[in-house]
């Protein structure tokens, strides 16, 4: 008899009681009397009459319950050769004073604060300090360019920016301050102040009257208590790529996030309070928000904050060192990290140097997990390897396997079965349900469970139109896939212009906007082509203006630099080729999917609506010139 099935069933059929019962597991200032307010779909509100605080649940609650001397954070930084262990009591003290520092700078509940920091303890401290006083944090990933930061500053209009002087990538120091100054210069909104944490690897110069030194400002700040906040008070805004250059500001509420994340730690990840849990991601991504910071702390775990890479810091044994040194019980990362390790250490020689017998499970997400990577990880580690399907919007997995309830048989290529509250369907373009095994749009019946996004910042209309309008009554995930006869879900590809590069979600539309901005480019297309290491890599095709004086190679070099300068190095935009024309349908739509199949070397059919079939021969030749399909 399955133990998972009745739990999933009651999360849908008996929604109110199910989620109210789970809510008993968190700390409330005022407990809610009901689970959901459904008055204004799709703007559902979870625990509408409760009051709570995410920071209280992450820190104060545990210190009050006697967990003060346990490590909350293990900071492990091979790129700076440092380690630091911080107890729950120490973290509470640091966060309370940082919250006091925010109050002294005039930040109050509801104000936005941008956090622009690498993987250092102060990033976690900043997020929790905001949560403590009800300020809404928006963390911006360090691999983005100044322009992306400017877009976010303008959209969420922060009162304050908390930043570090630099991040460290293998082989180079990324100075954040010049990027921050440039972003503020580009943005129309100007923050009242910036507080800068000086790292010894790069000292930032401070602008008088606007910038403040973190240590000096913090030294004068008083400790402050947690604010009692309404359950649906926004905890954070996290921007993610959509189909255009304007990212979507995903808003997470407070209580829904706490209830759902706390539940997953035991039931999905199978860890107990006190154990060490490691999500090897970045605080700038949703996985970092949920599983480096909030969930492990809500559950009383020790979270590993790793400032390094799977390879090169210093070698492909880096993950095994961290697991053995800190006795990590569960590891969560992206398949691309394992592909990188496998490429450099196919026989697992580095693994043999470490004792990782404490590790019980590996969780993978962020991109489709190819069965080869899954099999390699299973063989090497000898523990369950669990693929689970995620989105920034949902905040935790949509589909997973449930280590703490019942390990369902693993089917390679499938992230297994829906998480509580997700009633998934596969619909065809007419909105009809597909039969088992048939590919269509993956959708979830509304309402989504607690912890999923409640709106888009400044864009409630976009929230409705982008996610809830194509299939009324359903959330459109933007992923295509199928469900098999056993109810296993398979996620195959995005249905929109979003691509996934090394587990990072990027918009080809945004890259096209940058390419089109080049004065010599008449028309362009960007698509995601398969890549053995990163899953996908962007490939650009340019049609140039007839009167262009410059050589093709020069223009290609310039557009590559533009994408790096305007979107950031994380876009990994390096492959671009000039073509005479782009293939289109008779109605003028660029045939990106056909071009992608050509680049990937997969089978494709001549589209019936194509304007001029000969163009595809030209495209095949041009892509071959830059190495596609890959050997
Ligand atoms: N700040 C500044 N630059 C950054 C950055 C950051 N936080 N993160 C990445 N970059 C830069 C890199 O230095 C690189 O620059 P380069 O073009 O000058 O070399 C570029 O962005 C691309 O980075 P990345 O995609 O990380 O590729 P990589 O070749 O450096 O490393 C992997 C490849 C697979 C090792 C790496 O992508 C990885 O560890 N992935 C794990 C995935 C992950 O954490 N996903 C999060 C969701 S779970
Ligand atoms: P992000 O919002 O950055 O977490 O990216 C979400 C997208 O990543 C999803 O819409 C999927 O396209 C992809 N994705 C995440 N996890 C998986 C998975 N386990 N299998 C397939 N695709 C995934």
Residue of the nearest CA to atom 16 in ligand 1? Answer: 569
Helix axes 614-625, 592-600, angle to 10 degrees: 50
Mutation pick for ligand 2 pocket among 398, 500, 530, 571 (CB with most ligand atoms within 8 Å):
500
Cα of 391 to ligand 2 centre, how many Å? 5
Q: Is 143 in the pocket of ligand 1 (CB under 6 A)?
A: yes
- pTM of the predicted protein model: 0.95
Give the pLDDT band (50/70/90) at residue 33.
very high
Answer yes or no: is pLDDT of 442 > 80.
yes
574: CATH: 3.30.300.30
Whether 362 maps to a domain, the answer reads no
Nearest ligand 2 atom, CA 494: 12
Nearest ligand 2 atom, CA 498: 12
**Do you find a cis peptide bond into 314, omega within 30 degrees of 0?**
yes
Q: Verify that 423 and 513 share a domain, yes or no.
A: no
CB 121 within 8 A of CB 73: yes
- Average pLDDT of the residues in 160-184: 97
Q: Verify that 554 and 433 share a domain, yes or no.
A: no
CB 566 within 8 A of CB 146: no
Quote the tokens at residue 559: 């557009």
Residue of the nearest CA to atom 4 in ligand 2? Answer: 391
Compute CA 227 distance to the chain's CA centroid, rounded to the nearest angstrom: 27
Cα of 288 to ligand 2 centre, how many Å? 14
Nearest ligand 1 atom, CA 312: 35
Give the pLDDT band (50/70/90) at residue 609.
confident
- Average pLDDT of the residues in 595-608: 91
User: For position 598, what pLDDT does the model report?
Assistant: 95
Q: Verify that 444 and 590 share a domain, yes or no.
A: no
Q: Is 502 in the pocket of ligand 1 (CB under 6 A)?
A: yes
Nearest ligand 1 atom, CA 309: 39
Cα of 436 to ligand 2 centre, how many Å? 22
User: For position 322, what pLDDT does the model report?
Assistant: 98
Widest distance between CA atoms in the chain? 74
Give the pLDDT band (50/70/90) at residue 243.
confident
- Name every residue whose Cβ is closer than 8 Å to that of residue 327 and which is 6 or more positions away in sequence: 276, 358
Whether 338 maps to a domain, the answer reads no
The ligand that comes nearest to the alpha carbon of residue 279 is 1
CB 411 within 8 A of CB 385: no
User: For position 613, what pLDDT does the model report?
Assistant: 85
3-state secondary structure of 573: coil
Instruction: Name the helix (H) or strand (E) containing 462.
Output: helix 460-467
Task: Calculate ∠ Cα 575-576-582, nearest 5°.
Answer: 135
Mutation pick for ligand 2 pocket among 242, 395, 491 (CB with most ligand atoms within 8 Å):
491
Nearest ligand 2 atom, CA 393: 2
CB 330 within 8 A of CB 361: yes
Residue of the nearest CA to atom 43 in ligand 1? Answer: 281
- For the chain, what is the mean pLDDT? 96
Task: Calculate ∠ Cα 145-151-152, nearest 5°.
Answer: 95
Please give the share of the chain, as a percent, with pLDDT higher than 90: 94
User: For position 287, what pLDDT does the model report?
Assistant: 97
Which residue bears the tokens 């390679």?
A: 412
Whether 562 maps to a domain, the answer reads yes
The ligand that comes nearest to the alpha carbon of residue 309 is 1
Residue of the nearest CA to atom 10 in ligand 1? Answer: 143
pLDDT of 36-58, one tens digit each? 999 999 999 999 999 999 999 99
Q: Verify that 142 and 274 share a domain, yes or no.
A: yes
Q: Verify that 569 and 473 share a domain, yes or no.
A: no
599: which DSSP letter?
A: H
Q: Is 288 in the pocket of ligand 1 (CB under 6 A)?
A: no
* Cα–Cα distance measured from residue 591 to residue 584, given in angstroms and rounded to the nearest whole number: 5
Nearest ligand 2 atom, CA 477: 10
Mutation pick for ligand 1 pocket among 503, 531, 536 (CB with most ligand atoms within 8 Å):
503
DSSP per residue, 471-535: STTEEEEEEEEEE-TTS-EEEEEESSSEEEETTEEEEHHHHHHHHHTSTTEEEEEEEEEEETTTE
Domain-ending residue, one of 450, 481, 512: 481
10: CATH: 3.40.50.12780
Q: Verify that 521 and 592 share a domain, yes or no.
A: yes
3-state secondary structure of 45: strand
Q: Which whole-number Å values give the CA distances from 183 to 151, 189, 415, 477, 516, in the listed order?
A: 8, 10, 39, 31, 21
Residue of the nearest CA to atom 15 in ligand 1? Answer: 569
Which residue bears the tokens 């929230």?
A: 463
Give the pLDDT band (50/70/90) at residue 608.
confident
Answer yes or no: is pLDDT of 509 > 80.
yes
Q: Verify that 409 and 516 share a domain, yes or no.
A: no
Q: Verify that 424 and 525 share a domain, yes or no.
A: no
Q: Is 308 in the pocket of ligand 1 (CB under 6 A)?
A: no
Cα of 522 to ligand 2 centre, how many Å? 33
Nearest ligand 1 atom, CA 533: 34
* Cα–Cα distance measured from residue 283 to residue 272, given in angstroms and rounded to the nearest whole number: 23
Domain that includes residue 95, residue range: 4-308+388-481
Domain count across the chain: 2
Q: Which whole-number Å values give the CA distances from 2 to 7, 55, 401, 406, in the listed order?
A: 9, 36, 13, 8
Cα of 125 to ligand 1 centre, how many Å? 23
Instruction: Name the helix (H) or strand (E) containing 427.
Output: strand 424-427
Q: Is 309 in the pocket of ligand 1 (CB under 6 A)?
A: yes
Whether 254 maps to a domain, the answer reads yes
Whether 292 maps to a domain, the answer reads yes
Q: Verify that 392 and 533 share a domain, yes or no.
A: no
Residue of the nearest CA to atom 17 in ligand 1? Answer: 569
Q: Verify that 182 and 228 share a domain, yes or no.
A: yes
pLDDT of 393-423, one tens digit each? 999 999 999 999 999 999 999 999 999 999 9
Answer yes or no: is pLDDT of 103 > 90.
yes
pLDDT of 535-572, one tens digit each? 999 999 999 999 999 999 999 999 999 999 999 999 99
Q: Verify that 112 and 207 share a domain, yes or no.
A: yes
Domain-ending residue, one of 451, 481, 511: 481
The ligand that comes nearest to the alpha carbon of residue 148 is 1
Give the pLDDT band (50/70/90) at residue 497.
confident
Task: Name every protein residue with a CB atom under 6 angstroms from any ligand 2 atom.
Answer: 240, 286, 365-369, 387-392, 415, 478-479, 491, 494, 500, 505
Nearest ligand 2 atom, CA 500: 8
Whether 453 maps to a domain, the answer reads yes
Mutation pick for ligand 1 pocket among 314, 336, 387, 531 (CB with most ligand atoms within 8 Å):
336
Cα of 570 to ligand 1 centre, how many Å? 6
Cα of 141 to ligand 1 centre, how many Å? 11
* Cα–Cα distance measured from residue 53 to residue 59, given in angstroms and rounded to the nearest whole number: 10
Give the pLDDT band (50/70/90) at residue 607.
confident
Whether 347 maps to a domain, the answer reads no
- Name every residue whose Cβ is closer than 8 Å to that of residue 238 and which is 6 or more positions away in sequence: 138, 139, 249, 250, 252, 286, 289, 392
Nearest ligand 1 atom, CA 141: 7
Domain-ending residue, one of 481, 510, 528: 481
Q: Which residues of 551-560 are buried (b: 16+ CB within 10 A; e: fewer)?
A: eeeebbebbb
Whether 365 maps to a domain, the answer reads no
* Cα–Cα distance measured from residue 385 to residue 374, given in angstroms and rounded to the nearest whole number: 7
Q: Verify that 457 and 581 share a domain, yes or no.
A: no
């Amino acid at each position: 008899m399955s133990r998972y099935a009745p739990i999933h069933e009651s999360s849908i059929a008996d929604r109110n009681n199910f989620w109210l019962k789970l809510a008993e597991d968190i700390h409330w200032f005022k407990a809610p009397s009901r689970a959901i307010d459904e008055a204004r779909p799709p703007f559902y509100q979870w625990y509408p009459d409760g009051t709570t605080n995410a920071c209280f649940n992450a820190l104060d609650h545990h210190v009050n319950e006697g967990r003060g001397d346990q490590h909350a954070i293990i900071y492990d930084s091979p790129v700076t050769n440092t380690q630091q262990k911080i107890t729950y009591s120490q973290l509470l003290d640091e966060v309370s004073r940082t919250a006091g520092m925010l109050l002294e700078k005039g930040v109050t509940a509801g104000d936005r604060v941008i956090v622009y920091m690498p993987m250092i303890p102060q990033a976690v401290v900043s997020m929790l300090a905001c949560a403590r006083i009800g300020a809404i944090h928006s963390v911006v990933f360090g691999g983005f360019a100044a322009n992306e930061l400017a877009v976010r500053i303008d959209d969420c209009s922060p009162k304050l920016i908390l930043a570090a002087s630099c991040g460290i990538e293998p082989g180079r120091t990324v100075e954040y301050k010049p990027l921050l100054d440039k972003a503020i210069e580009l943005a129309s909104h100007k923050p009242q102040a910036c507080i800068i944490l000086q790292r010894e690897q790069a000292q930032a110069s401070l602008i008088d009257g606007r910038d403040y030194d973190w240590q000096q400002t913090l030294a004068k700040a008083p400790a402050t208590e947690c604010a009692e906040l309404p359950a649906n008070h926004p905890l954070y805004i996290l921007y993610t790529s959509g189909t255009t250059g304007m990212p979507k500001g995903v808003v997470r509420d407070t209580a829904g996030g706490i209830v759902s994340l706390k539940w997953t730690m035991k039931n999905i990840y199978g860890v107990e309070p006190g154990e060490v849990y490691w999500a090897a991601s970045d605080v700038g991504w949703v996985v970092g928000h949920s599983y480096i910071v909030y969930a492990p702390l809500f559950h009383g775990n020790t979270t590993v904050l790793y400032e390094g890479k799977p390879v090169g810091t210093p070698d492909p044994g880096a993950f095994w060192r961290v697991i053995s040194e800190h006795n990590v019980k569960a590891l969560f990362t992206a398949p691309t990290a394992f592909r990188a390790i496998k490429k450099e250490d196919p026989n697992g020689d580095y693994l043999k140097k470490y004792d990782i017998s404490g590790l019980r499970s590996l969780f993978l997400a962020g991109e489709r997990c190819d069965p080869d990577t899954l099999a390699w990880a299973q063989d090497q580690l000898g523990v369950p390897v669990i693929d689970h399907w995620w989105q920034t919007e949902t905040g935790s997995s949509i589909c997973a396997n449930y280590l703490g309830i019942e390990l369902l048989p693993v089917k390679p290529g499938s992230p297994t079965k829906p998480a509580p509250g997700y009633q998934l369907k596969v619909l065809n373009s007419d909105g009809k349900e597909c039969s088992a095994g048939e590919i269509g749009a993956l959708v979830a019946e509304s309402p989504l469970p607690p912890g999923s996004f409640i709106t888009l910042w400044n864009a409630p209309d976009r929230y409705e139109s982008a996610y809830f309008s194509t299939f009324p009554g359903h959330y459109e995930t933007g992923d295509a896939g199928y469900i098999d006869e056993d109810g296993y879900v398979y996620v195959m590809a995005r249905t929109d212009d979003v691509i996934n590069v090394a587990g990072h979600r990027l918009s080809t539309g945004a890259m096209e906007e940058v390419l089109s901005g080049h004065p010599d480019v008449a028309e362009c297309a960007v698509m995601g082509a398969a890549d053995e290491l990163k899953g996908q890599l962007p490939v650009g095709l340019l049609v140039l203006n007839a009167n262009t004086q410059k050589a093709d190679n020069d223009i290609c070099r310039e557009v590559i630099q533009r994408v790096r300068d305007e979107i950031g190095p994380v876009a990994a935009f390096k492959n671009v080729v000039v073509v005479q024309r782009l293939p289109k349908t008779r109605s003028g739509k660029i045939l990106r999917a056909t071009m992608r199949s050509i680049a990937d070397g997969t089978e494709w059919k001549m589209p019936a609506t194509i304007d001029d079939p000969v163009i595809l021969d030209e495209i095949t030749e041009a892509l071959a010139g830059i190495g596609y399909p890959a050997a």
